[in-house]
Amino acid sequence: MSTGIYLDNNATTMVSPEVVEEMMPFFSEQYGNPSSMHQFGDKVGRALKKARQQVQALLGAEHDSEIIFTSCGTEADSTAILSALKAQPDRKDIITTVVEHPAVLSLCEYLEKEGYTVHYLKVDKKGRLDMQEYIRLLSDKVAIVSVMWANNESGTLFPITEMAELASSAGVMFHTDAVQAVGKLPINLKESAIDMLSLSGHKLHAPKGIGVLYLRRGVRFRPLLRGGHQERGRRAGTENSASIVGLGKACEMALSAMAQEKTTVKALRDRLEHGILSQVSHCFVTGDPGNRLPNTCNIAFEYIEGEAILLLLNKMGIAASSGSACTSGSLEPSHVMRAMDIPYTAAHGSVRFSLSRYNSQADVDKVIEAVPPIIEKLRKLSPYWSGNGPVEDPEKAFAPTYA
């Protein structure tokens, strides 16, 4: 393993060594095509069946046939939304939120150009939805509701099981992009009204290039990829058997480590957060601190910019991420931060630390030590800052001509 402190687990995770070990034979001797009649294919076929059951167990799905392997979370999202539109051609509306991942947002923006109506639920300053607005929008014009379970930037959780119940009683299909939630929160789909759910392997210590669409038995479905009979004709294309086996193992491990998430991982996250907030002035936690993923901590450092913070952290071997515009090369700071009405001078300075069960207390303590001098160094360069605090009335004292 490379040296350094990795606190960017919402971006991607280390593949667990046990997962790698489980996968290895499927690159070499276990090369059969699971569709084949001979023993080479049969062994791989059995391995896929086991993996499907491991995913089923983590999700609490009723049947293993409700698990459809895809190439990634984005494919699962696209498959779910486009299927709902194809299967119900008379319904032209979609309900989603302003803080979704681009995997859903960009698709929705494209569908608007194609003539569909997309309702984007707004969030308040803590990133929470207005349930009354949601209830008002549910109608028989809506083909699908697609709402993320946990926000990738702030970690804020949406009341997905309640929202699914509401959709179900209005006769509307419900999909959730749960790539950040799966493996970090207990999920029991058979007890829920969720029709479809997306997950991504590389967010839970499986490799990149493998995802899952959970599709409740009986939900009307139209495949995105047509071709062979793989995945019961619902997702054609020869199976990525090594990665499927790896994902199965990762799901099994996540299930047995589930208690650790809300104890060990959460404790480390809280230690990190308290450590930083107690030493650095003019910074705050974004999102809804009382209702978020146990591993995520997003802190907005006022009057400085996130990319600069990341570069200095990186120099010390610490990996995190930021909602600043500069880190993505886009025009705006993170749409999630803007949706929560966080001012530009803070949104640009937001830094996300996301932990995993592979982080240690020593990691966290090093980060607590590293952050304050970095913030101080950058604030010394900032036109909004003077001495030990922001200049008086910062927005007025420095009001540049914007191009």
Binding site for another protein (CB under 8 A): 303-308, 311-312, 314-315, 324-327, 329-333, 344-345, 347-348, 380-384, 398-403
d(CA 57, CA 255): 8
Q: Cβ of residue 331: shortest distance to another protein, in angstroms?
A: 5
Cβ(155)–Cβ(298) below 8 Å = yes
d(CA 259, CA 141): 41
Nearer to another protein, 109 or 124 (CB): 109
Q: Cβ of residue 317: shortest distance to another protein, in angstroms?
A: 14
d(CA 304, CA 333): 13
d(CA 187, CA 78): 22
| Residue 155 Ramachandran class (φ > 0 left, ψ -120 to 50 alpha, else beta) | left
What are the C-alpha distances in Å from 255 to residues 23, 58, 259? 19, 6, 8
Q: Cβ of residue 387: shortest distance to another protein, in angstroms?
A: 11
Nearer to another protein, 115 or 329 (CB): 329
297 noted as active-site residue: no
d(CA 51, CA 45): 10
Cα 154 to chain centroid, rounded: 10
| Residue 271 Ramachandran class (φ > 0 left, ψ -120 to 50 alpha, else beta) | alpha
Nearer to another protein, 117 or 330 (CB): 330
d(CA 374, CA 310): 10
Side-chain half-sphere exposure of 11, counting CA atoms within 13 A:
11
Nearer to another protein, 43 or 335 (CB): 335
Q: Cβ of residue 389: shortest distance to another protein, in angstroms?
A: 15
What are the C-alpha distances in Å from 95 to residues 139, 159, 166? 10, 15, 13
Nearer to another protein, 89 or 402 (CB): 402
Contacts of 239 by beta carbon, 8 Å cutoff, 6+ apart: 34, 44, 48, 69, 230, 231
Please classify residue 29 by burial: count the beta carbons closer than 10 Å to its beta carbon, then call 0-12 exposed, 13-18 middle and 19+ buried: exposed
Q: Cβ of residue 186: shortest distance to another protein, in angstroms?
A: 35
Nearer to another protein, 134 or 303 (CB): 303
Q: Cβ of residue 305: shortest distance to another protein, in angstroms?
A: 5
Q: Cβ of residue 19: shortest distance to another protein, in angstroms?
A: 26
Nearer to another protein, 22 or 305 (CB): 305
Which of 72, 251, 297, 326 is labelled catalytic? 326
The β-bridge partners of 142 are 93
Nearer to another protein, 226 or 315 (CB): 315
* C-alpha triplet 110, 116, 122: angle, nearest 5°: 80
| Alpha helices by DSSP H, 88-143 | 102-113, 131-137
Nearest to 195 by CA among 94, 84, 99, 111: 84
Q: Cβ of residue 327: shortest distance to another protein, in angstroms?
A: 8
Cβ(233)–Cβ(223) below 8 Å = yes
Cite the active site residues. Answer: 326
